[in-house]
Amino acid sequence: MSEITLDPYVSRYATRARGMGASEIRALFAVASRPEVVSLAGGMPYTAALDYDAVAEVTDAVVREHGPSALQYGGGQGMPALRARLVEVMAAEETAAHPDDVVVTTGGQQALDLLGKLFCDPGDIVLAEGPSYVGALGAFSAYQARVLHVDMDADGLIPEAVEDRLTQVRAAGRTVKFLYTVPTHQNPAGVSLSVTRRLALAELARRHDLLVVEDNPYGLLDFKGEVRPSLRSLAPEHVVYVGTLSKIFSPGIRVGWLSAPGPIRDKLVLLKETADLCQSNLTQFVAERWLGTQPWQAQVAAFRELYRERCEAMLSEMAAELPSSCTWSVPTGGFFVWLRLPPALDAGEMLAKAIRARVAYVPGSAFHADGQGTGEVRLSFCLPPPERIREGVRRLAEVLREEVELVEAVYRGRG
């Protein structure tokens, strides 16, 4: 495993692969990381778009003005000045927060891990969209929680379906620890929860005393610049909000955070200290100064436009090239398109063939805890430039046409 540096999202998939061994999948994706392969698999933001003179200005000022502090240990909750800046980031999506409620974490992923550690006992139930973020499934299942999926459509999670699941599980005498959701530009489906449903979900959380974990990595990357009310803003006492700078600045600084009701926050600070003592002060200072001295909102607007263009390249090429029996989501923002394959195709089985055809994706089963999603695929448009995306879609279309022909031949043979 040593010398292969996989996209961590892809790597997470490899550990959840069914059928194939994890090492086999890792080997496959190691091939997929070769330059001749168009990877529509990863979830890596296009960090090359940042202004590196500005970044260097920030890091230099941090080291020269705050060196001994930046290179020292910090507090378990995170740097107060940074927490105040993260509150400003939340304010850009009209979500009120106080620096006291914020805990800085190693990306959003550590927030999910700490929540799993705090809440999940073996056999507990966590509800989540189907499909859901692979890293969340991994974090909760590491504490032996069981994820039950709830249906979603083009308007996101269906509140009635949440209520049905909840009632059903509670009637069976089991405990639902929380609902995990990515309401905006969901990973992997690309869709956003409608405002009506946000209101319904907030009401449902209050009525059923249901804790909601709202994961919001992509919220600011809306292709129309639209802002939706966060669940945290609608039901603050029932929602733990998870944010990250990974998609609006840099994943390489590993600065995420959560904003939680007081008693939960206190416990999470203690768990954070147990997990790694404290966040890197150096990267916290860098994040604080980036947000405080650089035009970060203009940078977010530039990212938004860049990803919108890439998404459009992907969607238009899909419309032109994919077999007519394919359907897919139309992203409101974020990084991903969710593709449903023609009937009888298996995305996992098709992956090796796709990689031979020099295109990679993540099979849909990675995003389900229950073996569903075999006929589905996550395509990402965040990293490759538009022309490469189009080329990748054409290669995938070719593989799909061959597979469809094969399936039809088999059916004709049977008929």
Our finding on whether 4 is near a second copy (CB under 8 A) is yes
Our finding on whether 299 is near a second copy (CB under 8 A) is no
Query: Which of 69-77, 167-175, 183-191, 332-340 is the region at the interface with a second copy (rule: CB under 8 A)?
Result: 69-77
Compare residues 111 and 234 and give the one whose CB is closer to a second copy.
111
Candidates 18, 56, 174, 408: give the one binding a second copy (CB under 8 A): 56
Which residue's entry shows tokens 């604080």? 288
Q: Is the bond preceding residue 188 a cis peptide, omega within 30 degrees?
A: yes
- # of chain residues touching a second copy (CB under 8 A): 74
What is the number of residues in the chain?
A: 415
Given a contact cutoff of 8 angstroms between Cβ atoms, the answer to whether 105 and 111 are in contact is yes
Our finding on whether 69 is near a second copy (CB under 8 A) is yes
Minimal distance, residue 339 CB to a second copy, in Å? 23
Minimal distance, residue 292 CB to a second copy, in Å? 18
The interface mask with a second copy, positions 263-292, x = CB under 8 A, is: ---x--xxx-xxxxxxxxxxx--x------
Our finding on whether 96 is near a second copy (CB under 8 A) is no
Our finding on whether 75 is near a second copy (CB under 8 A) is yes
Measured in degrees and rounded to the nearest 5, phi and psi for residue 8 equal -60, -25
The interface mask with a second copy, positions 219-248, x = CB under 8 A, is: ---------------------------x--
260-262-265 Cα angle (round to 5)? 55
Candidates 19, 123, 225, 252: give the one binding a second copy (CB under 8 A): 252
Measure CA 87 to chain center: 21
Minimal distance, residue 108 CB to a second copy, in Å? 9
Given a contact cutoff of 8 angstroms between Cβ atoms, the answer to whether 215 and 108 are in contact is yes
Compare residues 115 and 318 and give the one whose CB is closer to a second copy.
115
Which is it for strands 239-244 and 212-215: parallel, antiparallel or unpaired? parallel
| Burial degree of 33 (CB within 10 A; 0-12, 13-18, 19+) | middle
Minimal distance, residue 86 CB to a second copy, in Å? 13
Our finding on whether 117 is near a second copy (CB under 8 A) is yes
Angle between the N-to-C axes of helices 296-321 and 386-414, in degrees from 0 to 180, rounded to the nearest 10: 30
Nearest Cα neighbor of 109 from 79, 83, 139, 131 is 139
